Chains A and B, each alone.
Chain A
């Protein structure tokens, strides 16, 4: 751990694989920038890898004042031990006050190992970060300008704000998709600092035998309109209704965890606490009861249509349009209404 250091910078771990930056650290850049401005300190990205110099410039365009780069052949492929060791060395040397990681598969593996090594606090899967003051209960001691780490807990039933006032840095992993991606500014200038890290082969305890990655079949985060089906759709066959409605709308098809577990659709399409967090202009929830775990991933949608035959379904409590009835009748009616609309428009254009 390091001591409380009010001059410390705000850091983002710039996760990259094979020279390609992940989306989540870029999403974190706008929040880190904002927090650094409030605190009046610099914002820096931490970049580890081998031959990753080009990425450093990109991080400055996305808002970093500084990029700490550890360019080392031993860091070519991610391994928990080597990455944790390098980041711990940076933290101990530069004493940042805040370190943020994407709550990705890699981030959730790496950040706890770092937290344990430096005996600092870590809050998992934050959905928001703010700066605020905290008064200790008991002694009434005031701590100003702490990192408020906001996260859902208890299966999403409560929202907890976590703080860390004595053993710094204040660290958090942040959920994918909950913060908007900043626009890059190609004219931004910043400092790129090459840092030396002490590593040896012993820091690579695993042999990576084989790896198979595939592109996600759907980009839910980028979709303006999403049509999602739940267990209520009934079968994989009937899930065609969701695909058809999505096709007519030019929307992305999505699903609840229950529908994915039942094999109706691939888990790339899963929205919710354990899936993707989305905030489209329109979210059409078909046969979805609206468990809090699902709502955690979609309740920020601008408009929500809920189609369900259960008047007590929790989804109705957050829906803007409540359609109570049999989805097998309502969805075809919707498809029909949309097609008629399109035809009318085409006729109008033709005239």
Chain B
């Protein structure tokens, strides 16, 4: 199957394909809470949950990969998070992403959706892009706010709840949005930001060949963690030199996961982290599955008839 190049003529310049930037997030697996993740008081021990690739972000990545296969272009994946979030960047490389970027910086901590979208916008602005793709929402917060806020920060059109890409031609996109109780087809000029729903596609699994190659892809932090124990007597300066050298080697092989901080992004620190976040947490309460006043009903004809009788007597059922 040959690729169909998406040739466009913008301002007399000819470009082939589309540059897609995909925003992804590592999240605790809130959907699979097992006994081990439960505290004795019935609350959830968040630290015990496995960290996963946010499900709808996999749909976002899949859409970007499909666009690249169909029209040509590039797929760049960005995540903001702890150094451990490099794991989902590697997973993206296994699936076919061309470039992976980790934004990690202590000063990002406590960012709400507004500060997060600001930081992400600084990163996306460093890249050439035609289509920015996000999952509709992340399963830890379920807010669905970062996509639209990022679109606003970039000053581009948003197409939320995208479930189908219908057409890409001559710098325009046509997509179908899932409205819950129906659908809507819209057309707009690139660049746009799409948020993608879980129904959009079946995300591919890692390709074995790519996995063998990219399992060695690392961030500078990970390289440092590897090099330090290997050189116990080396001072900071020597270590930094070793890390830099290894970064260079990996970069030549296409195995370096780029690591960006707020200084590199030239971000205004007033709009990042706690100071950039208008929303603050007043209180967190754990949900305890409380036992109410309850009755055990015998699963016999008599037991069930008695229950039905009681509900009719008290007029719960007519």
- The main secondary structure of chain A at its interface with chain B is mixed
1/0 contact trace for A254-288 toward B, CB 8 Å?
A: 00000000000000100001000000011000000
Closest to A213 in B: B182
* In the assembled complex, B52 has its CB within 8 A of some CB on chain A: no
Tell me the minimal C-beta distance from A281 to chain B in angstroms.
5
* Overall SS of chain B's interface: mixed
Nearest first, the 10 A-B pairs at minimum CB distance are A155-B30, A121-B278, A325-B299, A213-B182, A116-B152, A124-B143, A121-B279, A112-B148, A116-B149, A112-B145
Contact present for A153 and B113 (CB under 8 Å): no
Provide the residues of chain B in CB contact with A295, threshold 8 Å: 289
A115 and B145 contacting across the interface, CB-CB below 8 Å:
yes
**A199 lies within 8 A of chain B by Cβ:** no
Verify if A156 is at the interface (C-beta below 8 Å from B).
yes
Tell me, yes or no, whether B151 is within 8 Å of chain A by CB.
yes
**Most interface-central of B31, B184, B312 (chain A CB within 10 A):** B184
CB contacts (< 8 Å) of B117 on chain A: these are 116
A161 within 8 A of B: yes
Inside 8 A of A181's CB, which chain B residues have their CB?
A: none
CB of B253 closer than 8 Å to a CB of A? no
Q: Could you tell me if B188 and A155 are in contact, using CB atoms closer than 8 angstroms?
A: no
Q: List residues of chain A with CB within 8 A of the CB of B278.
A: 1, 119-121, 164, 166-167
| Interface residues, chain A, with chain B CB atoms under 8 Å away | 1, 80-81, 84, 105, 108-113, 115-117, 119-125, 132, 134, 146, 148-149, 152-167, 205-216, 225, 249-250, 268, 273, 281-282, 291-293, 295, 302-303, 305, 314, 316-326, 329-330, 333-334, 336-338, 340-341
Jot down 27 A-B pairs with beta carbons below 8 A, ordered by A.
Answer: A105-B161, A109-B158, A115-B145, A116-B152, A119-B114, A121-B114, A122-B114, A124-B143, A146-B282, A148-B282, A153-B141, A154-B30, A157-B30, A159-B285, A210-B184, A211-B182, A212-B182, A318-B290, A320-B292, A320-B293, A321-B294, A322-B295, A325-B299, A330-B299, A333-B299, A334-B304, A336-B301
Q: Are B179 and A112 interface neighbours, CB within 8 A? A: no
* Size bracket of the B interface: 35 or more
Besides A123-B279, A303-B316, A318-B291, 17 other CB < 8 A contacts?
A80-B148, A80-B157, A112-B149, A115-B114, A121-B112, A122-B145, A155-B33, A159-B286, A206-B157, A211-B185, A212-B182, A293-B31, A303-B311, A321-B295, A322-B295, A336-B301, A337-B305
Q: How far is the CA of A295 from the CA of B285 in the complex (A)?
A: 16
In the complex, A191 Cα to B212 Cα: how many Å? Answer: 69
- Would A337 and B148 be within 8 Å (CB), given that A157-B44, A160-B284, A303-B311 are in contact? no
Question: How distant is the Cα of A12 from the Cα of B230 in the complex, in angstroms?
Answer: 61
Do the beta carbons of B295 and A320 come within 8 Å of each other? yes
Given the known interface contacts A210-B185, A213-B179, the answer about A333 and B318 at a Cβ–Cβ threshold of 8 Å is no
Partner of B317 from the list A80, A154, A157, A225 (CB cut-off 8 Å) is A225
Which residues from chain A contact B290 at a C-beta distance below 8 Å? 317-318
What 0/1 readout, one digit per residue, does chain B (53-96) give for beta carbons within 8 Å of chain A? 00000000000000000000000000000000000000000000
Q: List the B side residues contacting A216 at CB < 8 Å.
A: 181
Residue of A nearest to B188 (CB): A206
Complex contact B179–A105 (CB within 8 A): yes
Which chain B residue has the least Cβ–Cβ distance from A273? B142
C-alpha gap A338/B146 in the complex (Å): 50
In the complex, A205→B186 CA distance in Å? Answer: 10
- Cα distance A119–B145 in the bound complex, in angstroms: 13
- Nearest-neighbour CB distance to chain B for A265, whole angstroms, equals 16
Nearest A residue to B166 via CB reads A209
Please determine whether B114 and A116 come into contact, CB atoms closer than 8 angstroms: yes
Question: Chain B contacts of A317 at CB under 8 A?
Answer: 289-291
